[in-house]
A and B are shown apart, each in its own frame.
Chain A
């Protein structure tokens, strides 16, 4: 479970050596000054101080003993009044609550900011903050807290507000809930199957112990032994091994000879032969080998089934949309669930909120950021009467909209009606194991049939024995273990470089890719990067400018403010003129940021003529301007150069051609560059590649790539914050590791070679077993020894080989220092 730490948010900034600017006791950010203190403790902002005081007053100081600076920075999580008003709606409550009565309610929240031991402790001690809260239990791998509360003392809204007020804001959206239940049942049943098989195999071996040393028990004991073994092994066959029978049947119905088929055959033959021996009192059977075989196979499945519980790979647009929206009516504004919206409703969308349905604008002007939905880098301005598509994020003042279509009918949602989404993705049966199994199964049946046929004329009983013995020995246990262990191990190792796979099988899919397609905005480029040009600003001035910009919700201002961990000075006399500019005072400096016209009106002279971007004036003097230029995440030229020899590259972008020249230079003449691509066009681009024999890896980040990610053989979502929304995909990659893509692909290919090698070794074991079987020397003892030895050695080979592959591919190179 080592990867839990890697999923958690990066640790707070390193310890500061300089005494002048201490670290915040609560969140560990560098304090802008030494003004906010309590006792010996310093705080970066009043938000953090408030939480500290609240915890101290409730006897929860231990929070700060458990970890250094465990808190979540508070200055950028404003809790707006009525932000959670919609939680008072009964329909929303039934959706979110697991259980509800007059005196008790229970809910499970997903809280991305859970990151350390102290978080667990604090959340489980929430009752000290509010007595209406009962038991709370954190599931750390899932980043969930399940808590019960008394609805007479505290409403659901109150619980969410309490959590938010101490920095643990839960994720609440339409897509939440439901899915994990079935997986939990599956996990439990695997535990039970392993437990049963383990119990039986240990007991069975114990009963056969005397037998292993060649001691002959007397007849009565021997017979009883056999029957007890039979009784123990029967539930293993019927329950623990049931999946292999079901899977092989499912595979056969899809006309695929999966590896489950020879396993099911071998297991049945082993069980039938043993039962026959017990019934006819001719021997004690191979029940010990049978149960251990099942146990090992199940362990392989358990190893492979590692999943990242905190991440969600199946989100669709509903997870992106909010749960509720304010509906305007004659009685005033009321929070209603988005699902209840009807055509013609008037709704209010405030700044930083997402437009939940296709609407017509009823306010004079709206600034919409569609970068996540369409890939257009720049926010767009819409005027009264314009149609606004769902998914845009409003920036600036609140706007009133008239609903034109329900959410599920919106333009954005229509992408999910595409046939690529309609057919459910069934398990890919064309895996390396199954291709192996195709001729393996044929060969085994041929050999077994051949052996039987040879003896048929002269000694039919012996023919029958030979048939069964061949099936038993050929049971591909070691073969079946190679892939799960190699893939499962690769899956874990990839998690260490913050590349999170939906499941271990994806490693193989990744290895077989021959085409790599990139989205541009948000994938190759970082969102909202702005570059400053003009007279140099000193550190103080830069800080002041960023602080003022941070007070605005306009996407351009957010970009100027940046995403650094820095804590800004307080801003006074802030004023924003929507669509024109912002002004404010910070650190005693008067800052103006805005378009040239607006600055001109504020008596600033010597302004250059600006086509786009924003000019900056400090204390009445023009200093320079910010301009939006796409900032590439990593050295794309290097990335493309490493990938070009082995892969066909493409860039599909929703943006305009302005970057074409640069991209062409990097990706070379053979690459395919497409611009102005709508979501459906991207999907079509992937399909065209596939039609001409491409196995496509699609890298994308937003909802506009969702179709392409789905259609591609492997969809990889690139995201800055892995806990935040990523569209449905197979892999979630931390954007900071985009430069590892070539190593990652190389590693997956090497892993596949490791599997091929361990196949070869396990086939050798099978051949050796066949040799003994055909000579009629297959004793229960030999079986009980050969089987575990072959399995364990193949597993070791798979693990060591994968480890070596990792080193050779350079996946972890230069990461040692960062990881530590």
Chain B
């Protein structure tokens, strides 16, 4: 039965991890615009903004 205590604790820790992640996502504005990202994805090429890390990777 003591396994159940561990499982309960583990599931809660996991859950709390996710809710923290969710709170971070909302606070950092990821839910502010749910309309544009699905469209932006269709242009498949990374826009390559000058100040983003992705771009330097692509350029090299």
> Cβ of A141: which chain B residues have Cβ within 8 Å of it?
33, 35-36
Q: Which residue of A lies closest to B52 (CB)?
A: A135
Q: Which residues of A in the span 136-159 have a Cβ within 8 Å of any Cβ on B?
A: 136, 138-142
From DSSP, what is the main secondary structure of chain A's interface residues?
Answer: helix
Please report whether the interface of chain B is mostly helix, strand, loop or mixed according to DSSP: helix
Instruction: Tell me which residues across on chain A come within 8 A of B45, comparing CB atoms.
Output: 62
| Known pairs A188-B32, A218-B1; A195 contacts B23 (CB<8 A) | yes
Segment of A119-127, A333-341, A432-440, A718-726 engaged in the interface with chain B: A119-127
A139 to B39, CA, bound (A): 11
Q: Is the CB of A206 within 8 A of B26?
A: no
Interface size counted on chain A using CB atoms at 8 A = 36
Q: Give residues of chain B (37-60) contacting chain A, Cβ–Cβ below 8 Å.
A: 39-40, 42-43, 45, 47-52
Q: Measured between alpha carbons, how far is A195 from B40 in the docked complex, in Å?
A: 25
- Whether B8 sits at the interface, judged by CB under 8 Å, is yes
Question: CB-nearest residue of chain A relative to B31?
Answer: A191
- Is A631 part of the binding interface, using a Cβ–Cβ cutoff of 8 Å? no
Known: A120-B40, A195-B23. A134 touches B50 (CB 8 A): yes
Contacts A117-B43, A134-B50, A135-B51 hold; do A1 and B26 have CB atoms under 8 A apart? no
Task: Report the minimal beta-carbon distance from B22 to chain A, rounded to whole angstroms.
Answer: 5
Number of B residues near A (Cβ < 8 Å) is 30
Min CB–CB distance B33 → chain A (angstroms): 5
Residues of B within 8 A of A206 (CB): 11
A199/B19 in contact, CB under 8 A: yes
B12: chain A residues within 8 A (beta carbon): 203, 228
Q: Does A4 contact B (CB under 8 A)?
A: yes
Query: Are A187 and B32 touching (Cβ within 8 A)?
Result: yes
Per-position 1/0 for A1-17, Cβ under 8 A of B: 10010000000000000
| Complex CA–CA separation, A141 to B32 (angstroms) | 10
Please, what's the 1-or-0 string for A184-217, where 1 marks a CB less than 8 Å from any CB in chain B? 1001100110011001000100110000000000
Q: Report if A66 contacts B (CB, 8 A).
A: yes
Q: Does A224 contact B (CB under 8 A)?
A: yes
Taking CB atoms, residues of chain A closer than 8 Å to B42 are 66, 117
Q: Which residues of chain B come closer than 8 Å to A139, judged between CB atoms?
A: 32-33, 35-36
Q: Are B32 and A195 in contact (CB under 8 A)?
A: no
B4 located at the interface, meaning its Cβ lies under 8 Å from any Cβ of chain A in the complex: yes
Contact call B33/A140, Cβ cutoff below 8 A: yes
A-B contacts, 14 of them at CB < 8 A, read: A1-B34, A120-B36, A124-B47, A124-B49, A125-B48, A135-B50, A139-B35, A139-B36, A141-B35, A192-B23, A199-B19, A199-B22, A203-B11, A221-B5
- Give the B-binding residues of A (Cβ under 8 A): 1, 4, 62, 66, 117, 120-121, 124-125, 127, 131, 134-136, 138-142, 184, 187-188, 191-192, 195-196, 199, 203, 206-207, 218, 220-221, 224-225, 228
